[in-house]
Structure 1
């Protein structure tokens, strides 16, 4: 179950889009960080500080005018006077002299490991070094550098001061947030269209995608196309419903006249056996047509509109018992018995009338196609989070190729399920619409008794 949920999650377009953007961003950040680290080495070159250069020239002249034994003393005095840190590097040996041990590591090490030919200013976190100024003292070549604490720290200095792991994690978090917002922005209209399509599939043909239809991009075009399709579909459905209502009305008028005519004929025709048989045949056909019209209207209404369920607590066990009692009148005429095996006091929230009609259609169908002196079994059991209602008959069953089509309107199977049964071919289709409205499932299968089993699953 968890594997299926994870698979469904990672197959989402939004997740794929988010992960793709995030992976690209992380890769770019990693490469940029690696290159920047190799080039910058915890420092950046900033515009040359000319004020520091002037101070270096002053110290250089001071140093060259004194004797070589006074180098450290000149460094110390000049540094104290200028409130700066001074470094002097011996060109040949690379040794760095300094007057303050606190600032030798890592800045002294940096000066010792690198060669400098042009004057430049190098910014470290909270510290700046400018140099070199070349000086020759007692025949020895030196490079003089001046360092200053920087109280105003720029953004680059702040970044460089952070630990390496922080400099890597922060961009990842920021990129993740930005990519998530981008993915959400791009997939939100798609999700809105998906929800609207589901509502239309449930029968709410007035549903439209209003907000995203104002966008100017491809998603906005998709939303407008969807709204146009929904509008045309709504008009077609309404036209279909009007047509069905008009046709049914036109059919009922001649049926009513036929009923009246039959009533008059019963009074005028001879009361012989042949005449009565013909009249009864006409009455059955008229009644059958009337039932068919009612069923067509019911099915059309259920298929082409939202089922407004009158949900209330329903004792399903008692409801099934009552349905079986009512069906025994039909079963007795065919010498078919009905038995029930149900759990007691099963309570669900349901539209009792709609659900009763569905079960009654299935049970009546089973009785019609059962052979004489056979039994129809109705069961009710709990399975996980569902209720399972089974109607098991002992007829001749149905070919496997026809099972999935039994719930289609007007679909008939030859042989046992022909028109001699008196049905209209709409009972199971109406039952399916009622079960679908309850978020349930209905299916049919052959059983080992040779007949058909219809299963109804309802969520608890």
Structure 2
């Protein structure tokens, strides 16, 4: 478990996804906060500009139409603004200063035509400078200048760009704290989601590694998954794999059993043929009647081998290439009549009767050879095991999409504990008697597989009055 976990932890997809998504989210959050800060600061600067522009307009009203501004009047107006730090400067369009409330000797002040806010105001009607250093007063100011073209003057107001103003222009810090709280919450939610995802991926990786090394999957680390859609899918994958493993093991067991059964079934007739032939070869002067008897027995055993190989070939075709069968219209009534004729001598020898109650024309779509095997094997099985003096009955009932057949006899039947296994390959109720009768043990297995290939179902039970009753369906 440790080596799996360490390997998974080093290259965890969940961790990569978490870090990638978190990085993108944090980058977006930082960019949004910076954008919001700049936007809010610009908004506050705009408000301050509007306020200073309003001051500029009021001052212009006082000096409008006057050749020289009245100092006392402007000084009183500036005081009415209730801001001792407010600086007011009037500048002619040629840059000469007409008035400055912080300098009495404004006539001696240098030309202001080169000041950025003055130049912008002359060009666009209004100009600003943020945190520009004043060479006149040796401190930084926030300037707002408005050019009144009619009077040819620029009214400039300014506030010191000190800590108080800087704080006023800063964005609201509560928004930053709110954004940080949201980031933390979303990070925790993302971690919880990615952690569940990572747990599922880790378990699936452990499962894949264990499955690849044919190791046990019945471990605690694969016992339960998180209760979400991916966890449910992962559990289903493991359950399907376990089911496939179980099926594969069962198939391996069946293959071994089949191989053993085939070897056992082949061994007896081959040994018999070999024994009879050795006797004939080692005794060249054996009399003719005895030699003929031995050869007849060899022929009978060879027929048994042929029948066994034919049945095995039929089952292999059903298992390996069920879709390769040639389907055509098959007349079941005619087929059963032919089987009845073919087995007439055997029925007569065992004093048995065959009651065929099928309709005159019973047509289905299917494989001629496989359907023949179904009815022939059921007939041979009844002749072999029902007992002398018994009867065989076959009936059919039509439904919308299929026919239901009932094939029964009134013989000795089968003990109930054997009924569920009658369709197994090489299964025999009475092994000694079955081999004596020449059966291969594959007839009913062929019957079941052929019916399933024709989209039908089959079951068997004992009749109340004795004998076996096979009920099966065949699609039309």
Same fold at TM > 0.5: no
User: TM-score, normalization: structure 1?
Assistant: 0.43
Based on CA coordinates, which of the two structures has the bigger radius of gyration?
A: 2
User: TM-score, normalization: structure 2?
Assistant: 0.42
